[in-house]
Structure 1
Amino acid sequence: MPARMFVGSGAPSRPDAAPEPATLASAEESAPLRVHAARNQVGVTRHYDPAYVALAYPGGDVPIERGVCTDVVIRALRHEGLDLQQTVHEDMRTNFGAYPPLWGLRAPDRNIDHRRVPNLRRWFERQGWALQAGREPDGYLPGDLVTWTLPGGLPHIGIVSERRSGAGVPLVIHNVGHGTREEDALFAYTMTGHYRPRLD
């Protein structure tokens, strides 16, 4: 099922109901900062570009107008004080064997390790963030992180929004090939992980 761009905002109480302004305002105010930080990338990060880039460390980033799905999450979490580039690299330096051996590397690479979905999944699991990846929309809260496998086997990641589709399904903010977008795509692909960051 292709992802659908969501034009409106908010979560109606039933599929054919118009959302109440007070409900929309309350939901947006209570959404974690990472949701707003991810949404601020919409219209700014316009290109999907998986090229390997040598990054500054810590806090390194590719140019804001481009990136991949993981960059949406990395940029969003930095607004909450978590630098995945640094934390993933530090964990991989001391626990390299705990991470997926998918790229033939013998040591961590702080330029790319945090930009790979399998590595992020393992780091999230090691933080105790993993939850059941179910099919109930209400099981997903704003700011949750979700991973999928796209057609062709490509791993993917996005952030759950506080906004919902007309059917009541939470939207996701992600870059699936056309820049950062907020779309009705939570159940559009094969889900592989559901994570709830705890940043206290």
Structure 2
Amino acid sequence: MKTPELILLQLKSLGPQSAKMLADRISITTMGIRQHLQQLEQRELVCYEESRTKVGRPTRYWSLTSKGHAQFPDRHQDLSRVLLNAANKLFGDEGVERLIDVRENDLYQRYAEELKKYPEGTERFQALARLRQNDGYMADLETSDGACILVENHCPIGVAATTCGHLCNSELKLLGRLLGPNYQIERIEHIIAGSRRCAYRITPREQ
């Protein structure tokens, strides 16, 4: 993978980064990173905000523009649009919801089969993140205040989800079904609402 592609991937996965942070992760000089960032800025793929401190020059934190995010294609967008439009024309909103329910059930059966190997706890969450990663969600697992956070840095169904809120509801419902009644799932970041990623807080329910 070429350096510009690595930079875009880091910004997609990690959010705003300084040139030094990117240089440390990609293992090239800060000057080299700055040159690539300038080229990416000229292509309107990245932009920056300056963070001022009491001492020294302000630091530029780089992030993806909407054009930059578009470099990570929604693999299912064409099929999703066709199916959703066809279902809506034939059966109305109810037909669309039924179609999404079928998709959810298919995903549930496939994921649940794999998760049988990991009945509880962090290993189960990690296995779920791997399944989502394999399906194009750029998923990872983080921890915060004792809770596990399932992070999805990309949404391969994002284009369809912007026109059909039931898709996002179905995603949340799917995670709840997979993890079961012993866990509470809360969406704390949402791409459709303007966040750079989707994130779900997983906490045990009080018995």
Q: What TM-score, normalized to structure 2?
A: 0.27
More helix by share: 2
User: Which has the bigger relative contact order, CA under 8 A and spacing at least 6?
Assistant: 1
Q: What TM-score, normalized to structure 1?
A: 0.28
Q: Rg: which structure is higher?
A: 2
